[in-house]
Structure 1
Amino acid sequence: MSLAACAGIVERGDPDRFAAVMAAPPAARARLLPLYAFNLEVARAPWVSKEPMIAEMRLQWWRDVVAEPVARAHEVAAPFHAVIREAGLPLPVIDRLIAARLHDAWGEPFADGPAFEAYLDDTAGGLMWLAAVACGGHDEAAARALGWASGLANYLRAVPELEARGRMPLPDGRASAVQALATEGLARLDAARGRVPKAAALAAWQARGLLRQVLADPGVVAGGRMGLSEFSRRGGLLWVSVTGRL
């Protein structure tokens, strides 16, 4: 039940986000690592069983963990509660982040575009807002815009895997609709620029490059060809860590 355990979870489960955290100041790492480890545990919960009810029970367990600040037999629970307490993280935002994962548990298609956008806002947008609060941020609209854009990029990268699991990940998979999503994501990145604490914003360092790929060729999504070169990844993270500009 330590920061090291949280760091190990993030490093193994989300190496890109781990790299972003390690580029942040140590004080920020101490708050971001438990938050990101918690997010990973919640994101995984719908996929640990083919039975939706079991996944729902796991998600409810995490909702109870957040609602009841008591000792729990999980290596992330205590460090995450310490961050909630010390940073004053908004509990309703955390609860919505968990509840949104019920969509993944049941595997039903999104009803429409607004439902998909709300999912991104509650998951990735909410996570970025929590990270911003943990790092002293106050601009919720900017944090959610940045998180939404970054979440969209990551979600589009996952489309082939989701389809392989029998899911219908996008409400509209036509090339024009996918390009429209990328355009919206880039616009949100522009709107958020410079308004989110750098330590939190680092997690979105690949979003602009990935969304530009999709805008230029929406076929990279279905083809599983989204991704930056190692040079671009390392250079991009260094650029954001020094300048704070995405």
Structure 2
Amino acid sequence: MIKEKSKPLSFCGQYIRKSDPDHFFCALFMPSDLREQYFRLLAFYTEITRAVTLSSSWDVAGPMAGYIRLQWWRDLLANKSDRDHEIAPYIKDSLDRNLFSAEDLLKIISAREEELEGIKNWNHWDSIMVRSVGQIQRILANLFKIRELPLVEAVIAAGIASETVHISKNLPNIFRKGRCPLPAEIIHDFSLQRSENGISVTSSELNAIRDILIEKAYFYLRRSEKACLLDRHYRSVILPVILAKRDLHRFEQWDHLSRKRGIGDKLSVLKANYWVKLKISET
């Protein structure tokens, strides 16, 4: 684990420490140069996801407000925007150094645009996950020089499993903000509708939707098992899934858990990073 005292925390590092403490903690196990690139990718991903969080603007403009925000990011990546953003200089620096490409990031924007248009079915949902959080994992695997396709696919699956748990766990807050990252059949079956107060669901409806998402998370956990074959020096790319797995074991307490991680969670990540035999999908 890298001691942060040796170097001041970067702007994107501070951004992620505040907005995504789970990924921030897991990133501390990465080599410092790769960690900074991960912080930048996560900051970009967070901003792109915020762009489709519409809340009250939906009643006025529908999804158009989200499209406008995403188009601004497209323009920024193409150097066509006359405005700037606090994380933009760091993203541009990584692009200039060819650490990842604008095309890599445009795939994430396209996935979020499809979410705004409406997720047609579960196959479409899977595709969007692969091209959003899965794309972050793919870029990360490339930065770590993980080349074997089965390992890359396992790294992607681990990221999707982690994101699925995150969505399920935080679904009440996601709904309150007007975002609906779910396929049409869920929207239809549970009669989900946006209003100026977000999306309202009963506790029984919330639990039923969570049950479906939990099944998806376990599906991707099983697909990520080959990530256990990663050398210890590469394991930091899949550490968030360790926290996701622990969350799955206590899903009934999700609405009452503190946002701050306890010592048990942190020790589990520490053990997973250094333990010789790593298990992901076992219950």
Q: 1:192 aligns with which of 190, 210, 227?
A: 227
Residue 125 and residue 211 in structure 1: after superposition, are their counterparts in 2 closer, same or farther (change >3 A)? farther
For residues 58 and 224 of structure 1, the distance between their equivalents in structure 2, rounded to whole angstroms, comes to: 31
Normalised by the length of structure 1, the TM-score is 0.79
Distance 1:69 1:35, change over 3 A: farther
Q: Does residue 218 of structure 2 align to residue 183 of structure 1?
A: yes
Structure 2: distance between partners of 1:176 and 1:151: 15
Contact 2:51–2:69 under 8 Å retained in 1: yes
Alignment of 1:1-246 (within 5 A): 4-47=10-53, 50=57, 51=61, 52-68=63-79, 73-105=84-116, 108=118, 110-138=119-147, 139=149, 140-165=152-177, 169-171=181-183, 172=186, 173=208, 177-195=212-230, 197-213=234-250, 220=252, 224=255, 230-243=262-275, 245=278, 246=280
TM-score computed with the length of structure 2 as normaliser: 0.70
Amino acid at match of 2:35: R
Q: CA deviation at 1:115?
A: 1.7
Aligned residue type for 1:121: V
Q: Share of identical aligned residues, percent?
A: 22
Unmatched 5+ stretches in structure 1: 215-219
Which whole-Å CA distance do the structure 2 matches of 1:153 and 1:102 have between them? 22
CA radius of gyration, larger in: 2
SS at match of 1:205: helix
Question: Which structure has more helix as a fraction of its residues?
Answer: 1
Structure 2 alignment gaps of length 5 or more: 1-7, 187-207
1:74 is paired with a residue of what secondary structure? Answer: coil
Is the alpha carbon distance of 1:95 and 1:135 closer, same or farther for their aligned partners in structure 2, counting shifts above 3 Å? same
Deviation per CA, 1:83-107: give whole Å up to 9, x if none.
234354244332121122225546x
Distance 1:198 1:183, change over 3 A: closer
The alpha carbon displacement at 1:72 in A equals 6.2
